[in-house]
């Protein structure tokens, strides 16, 4: 029986990745299901951060060019380690900036309005910061976002229809920016199809991979995606404020960065201190300022696990975890008013389960009070993200039992039904 403790334990016993849980600082009295917002600290990430502090202590300014991992080349070296995770070739990925700064850079570089092509195509379900960035880039070019930012509508408020997106790829569109996975419902967009359709119409296209990197496999280069950007602090467990990343297809190498900075330079020429930029010949050209070394250091340790295991195995376990969670929700929570809003089809489901309930804010508070860390999304969404590297099937079973007790005993009613300042 799937709803028994013994069944969950057997799934853990059969899990080839179960040992990686010991790599992380997992609290013994909490079940952490918010790894799609901030991943847990691993012992390897801790050691790589401590090692970088030691390098500063030992080498001082010479740490830029000496030691085990010279800082001057760290962004490029880490980029090449991230490349297999997103299906990119050497030189196409750089670890730099933040998600929104990288989107500004890529939009400034690839948004080139000309003639009738002056509009940017996005969607109405994307994370707000992406929309803010696109609106501001339009304003900088003298366009009104109300008329020039086209946002594809959702039929149900949770998912997008790729055919509707393709229909919006008119001869007025100069750039397309979409999420790889929708942050609320966890729907995976067909990036390969959308890229093919965009290119058939002569439109460059890029993707926000914040919720997909480290969660699902990608093949950015073989899909011929023009650019992508992401954070490293969710499924990749790089730590709060971890330096982000971006991808630029090698066919665009040599394209001048829209936002140039000193670290956009060809490294052989950077210290010539010339006032005319000699840009790097690869994705390094799309850096702007000095790398945030300590915000990059934990990524080193975290990446070692991903490249050790491979994304296919991580994805396989992720699907088993979310599938098991949905089965238990269906069998154990029937009649309690929960609606599963993420896609049920494995090919379209990312790394979390999204539940809707009218009492979602207070249910999330009740879960936290009982040792389960969920994620609330206004107005009535609960995201539960069992992460392949550190969550167990036993924890999934326990979570549903705790949630069932909360609902049966109406324990959530002791909490106010509104979100906190941070949610």
By percentage, how much of the chain surpasses pLDDT 90?
97
Mean per-residue pLDDT, 329-348: 96
Q: For 388-406, how does the pLDDT look when each residue is reduced to its tens digit (9 = 90+)?
A: 999 999 999 999 999 999 9
Q: For 35-52, how does the pLDDT look when each residue is reduced to its tens digit (9 = 90+)?
A: 999 999 999 999 999 999
Q: Assess contact for 339 and 408: CB atoms under 8 A.
A: no
User: 167: part of which helix (H) or strand (E)?
Assistant: helix 162-167
- CA separation for the pair 332, 4 (Å, rounded): 11
Q: What's phi and psi for 116, nearest 5 deg?
A: -75, -25
Sequence ranges of the binding site for pyridoxal 5'-phosphate: 99-100, 127-130, 208, 211, 233, 262, 290
User: 247: part of which helix (H) or strand (E)?
Assistant: strand 245-248
Q: Where are the beta strands (DSSP E) in 353-402?
A: 353-356, 372-373, 375-377, 381-384
| Domain ranges across the chain | 5-32+310-414, 47-308
- CA separation for the pair 156, 268 (Å, rounded): 52
pLDDT-derived band of residue 337, with 50, 70 and 90 as boundaries? very high
**Cα–Cα distances in angstroms (integers) from residue 146 to residues 134, 149, 151, 203, 245, in the given order:** 11, 6, 10, 21, 29
- Measured at the CA of 182, the angle between CA 177 and CA 186, to 5 degrees, comes to 155
Nearest to 172 by CA among 119, 238, 94, 241: 119
- Please give the model's pTM, rounded to 2 decimal places: 0.97
Nearest to 210 by CA among 249, 174, 179: 179
Q: For 65-117, how does the pLDDT look when each residue is reduced to its tens digit (9 = 90+)?
A: 999 999 999 999 999 999 999 999 999 999 999 999 999 999 999 999 999 99
Provide, for the chain, the percentages of residues in helix, strand and coil under a 3-state DSSP scheme, each rounded to the nearest 5: 45, 15, 40
- As its CATH architecture, domain 5-32+310-414 has Alpha-Beta Complex (3.90)
- CA separation for the pair 214, 237 (Å, rounded): 9
* CATH code, residues 47-308: 3.40.640.10
Sequence ranges of the binding site: 99-100, 127-130, 208, 211, 233, 262, 290
């Amino acid at each position: 029986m799937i709803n028994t403790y013994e069944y969950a334990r057997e799934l853990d016993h059969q899990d080839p990745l179960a040992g990686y849980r010991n790599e992380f600082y997992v609290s013994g009295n909490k079940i952490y299901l918010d790894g799609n917002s901030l991943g847990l600290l691993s012992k390897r990430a801790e050691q790589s951060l401590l090692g970088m502090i030691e390098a500063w202590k030992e080498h001082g300014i010479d740490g830029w060019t000496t030691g085990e991992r010279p800082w001057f080349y760290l962004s490029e070296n880490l980029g090449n380690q991230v490349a297999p995770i997103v299906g990119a070739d050497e030189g196409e990925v750089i670890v730099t900036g933040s998600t929104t700064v990288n989107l500004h850079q890529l939009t400034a570089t690839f948004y080139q309005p000309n003639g009738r092509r002056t509009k940017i195509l996005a969607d109405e379900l994307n994370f707000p910061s992406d929309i803010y960035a696109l609106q501001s880039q339009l304003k900088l070019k003298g366009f009104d976002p109300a008329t020039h930012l086209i946002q594809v509508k959702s039929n149900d408020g949770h998912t997008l229809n790729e055919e509707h997106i393709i229909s919006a790829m008119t001869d007025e569109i100069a750039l397309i920016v979409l999420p790889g996975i929708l942050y609320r419902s966890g729907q995976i967009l067909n990036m390969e199809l959308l890229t093919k359709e965009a290119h058939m119409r002569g439109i460059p296209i890029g993707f926000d991979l914040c919720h997909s990197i480290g969660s699902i496999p990608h093949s950015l280069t073989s899909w011929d995606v023009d650019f992508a950007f992401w954070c490293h602090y969710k499924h990749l467990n790089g730590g709060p404020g971890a330096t982000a990343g971006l991808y630029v297809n090698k066919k665009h190498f040599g394209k001048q960065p829209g936002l140039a900075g000193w670290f956009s330079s060809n490294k052989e020429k950077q210290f010539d201190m010339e006032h005319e930029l000699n840009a790097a010949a690869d994705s390094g050209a799309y850096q702007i300022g000095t790398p945030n070394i300590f915000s990059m250091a934990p990524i080193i340790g975290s990446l070692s696990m991903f490249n050790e295991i491979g994304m296919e195995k991580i994805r396989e376990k992720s699907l088993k975890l979310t599938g098991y969670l949905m089965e238990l929700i269906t069998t154990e929570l029937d009649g309690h008013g929960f609606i599963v809003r993420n896609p049920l089809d494995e090919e379209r489901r990312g790394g979390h389960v999204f539940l809707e309930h009218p009492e979602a804010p207070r249910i999330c508070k009740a879960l936290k009070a009982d040792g389960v860390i969920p994620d609330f999304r206004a107005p009535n969404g609960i995201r539960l993200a069992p992460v392949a590297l550190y969550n167990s099937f036993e924890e999934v079973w326990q979570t549903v039992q705790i949630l069932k007790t909360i609902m049966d005993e109406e324990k959530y009613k002791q909490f106010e039904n509104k979100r906190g300042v941070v949610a």
